[in-house]
Amino acid sequence: MKIKCPKCKETAELTPDFSFVTCTKCDFDMTYGEYVKFVAHNDLAYADILGDYTGSTEGETAGSLDDWDD
């Protein structure tokens, strides 16, 4: 599957089993889990979205990116 490389913004490849992301243009290579963390830490729009999935309850905040680093 083709996705956007977070490092050089060119086209990167996500393996069919969603295990690795690689970009031949800039030699970006990491697991998909690391890729998600990398993107979240480097793009505020994604950080806000991931914060919504950390298990918030009414009256509490959604958490932070640190919750995803465990």
**pLDDT tens profile 14-66:** 999 999 999 999 999 999 989 888 887 777 666 666 555 555 545 555 555 56
Question: Would 45 be classed as within a structural domain?
Answer: yes
39: closest CA among 63, 6, 61, 4? 6
pLDDT of residue 2: 94
pLDDT of residue 53: 57
pTM of this prediction exceeds 0.85 = no
Number of domains in the chain: 1
3-state secondary structure the chain: CEEECCCCCCEEEECCCCCEEEECCCCEEEEHHHHHHHHHHHCHHHHHHHHCCCCCCCCCCCCCHHHHCC
Question: Would 70 be classed as within a structural domain?
Answer: no
Residues 3-15, mean pLDDT to the nearest whole number: 92
Range(s) of the domain holding residue 38: 2-63
More confident residue, 70 or 38: 38
Question: Would 12 be classed as within a structural domain?
Answer: yes
Question: Would 22 be classed as within a structural domain?
Answer: yes
Question: Would 68 be classed as within a structural domain?
Answer: no
Question: Would 56 be classed as within a structural domain?
Answer: yes
